[in-house]
Amino acid sequence: MKKYFYLVFILHLTIGCKKIEKEPSKNTLNLNNSDSTITVNDNKKILSKIINSFHKAKKIVITEKTTIVDITQDTEQIEFGNFNYRLPCLDKETFDNFLLKNQSPVKIKGNFYTQKNIVILENQQINEVLKNSIYNGWKKFYETYGEEAQGLLTLSRIGFNKKKNKALLYYSNQSNNTNGGGYVLVFKKIKNDWEICSSTQVWIA
């Protein structure tokens, strides 16, 4: 049986010997209020592109908390150079900021640029729907949220470079026990809009 992911996908990343300082504690990613380092518009534009990439889905179901990047584990060492090989337009500054931003989960709050119906679920709600069994849980999921839902989407926080013209994001989507995947995308800002310049799939179910 393929491994089942539905709450959080942890990327085990390291960047050589450089120490990553811990970001000050922040509990909420509010898309309606400014962040100290990036504008609401940049966050919202990039995340909305992921939302709108599910073209056939009328409803998007999202986990309330962002995923995390665990840089304390010693399981698999992934150097920036190896990561950059799969994402050629990624720069180290953006990569480092992505690691910094995603050391702990935050709650997603606010609106997206989309016409789709957005449902944000707490972990308790997810567990309640999927608790009985993997297969029956997904049946209950679609009975609860409708066949028009795309599945269950988990987002990371976005890493930016200092110029705020490059961005790095991880997201995963699971639509049933045997259909899901996780992706890392690099965005480049072009004329006040964000376009994907590199992407790679990091897991599949």
Pick the closest to residue 98 from 70, 135, 75 (CA basis). Answer: 70
Identify the pLDDT of residue 11: 47
Total tally of structural domains belonging to the chain: 1
Any domain includes 179:
yes
Any domain includes 34:
no
Identify the pLDDT of residue 200: 93
- Are the CB atoms for 95 and 15 separated by under 8 Å? yes
Cβ partners under 8 Å of residue 22, min gap 6: 100, 103
Pick the closest to residue 45 from 198, 205, 169 (CA basis). Answer: 169
CA distance 156 to 171: 6
**Each residue's pLDDT tens digit, 128-137:** 888 766 678 8
The mean pLDDT of 58-87, rounded to a whole number, is: 77
Identify the pLDDT of residue 2: 38
Any domain includes 26:
no
Whether residue 49 has pLDDT greater than 70: yes
Any domain includes 1:
no
Q: Give the range of the structural domain holding residue 117, as residue numbers without chain letter.
A: 41-204
Tell which wins on pLDDT, 205 or 189.
189
Q: Is the pTM of this model over 0.85?
A: no
- Taking residue 55's Cβ as centre, other Cβ atoms within 10 Å add up to 7
**Each residue's pLDDT tens digit, 132-151:** 666 788 999 999 999 999 99
Whether residue 42 has pLDDT greater than 90: yes
Distances, alpha carbon 61 to alpha carbons 14, 18, 65, 144, in Å: 31, 37, 12, 11
**Each residue's pLDDT tens digit, 8-41:** 334 434 333 344 445 555 666 666 654 544 456 8
- Are the CB atoms for 191 and 165 separated by under 8 Å? no
3-state secondary structure of 75: coil
The mean pLDDT of 152-169, rounded to a whole number, is: 96
The mean pLDDT of 56-60, rounded to a whole number, is: 97
Identify the pLDDT of residue 38: 43
**Each residue's pLDDT tens digit, 60-73:** 999 999 998 765 55
Whether residue 125 has pLDDT greater than 80: yes
Identify the pLDDT of residue 12: 38
- Taking residue 170's Cβ as centre, other Cβ atoms within 10 Å add up to 23
Structure tokens of 72?
């304390």
Q: Where are the alpha helices (DSSP H) in the chain?
A: 40-52, 80-86, 92-101, 123-130, 134-145
**Each residue's pLDDT tens digit, 163-191:** 999 999 999 999 998 999 999 999 999 99
Structure tokens of 169?
């994001």
Any domain includes 91:
yes
Any domain includes 15:
no
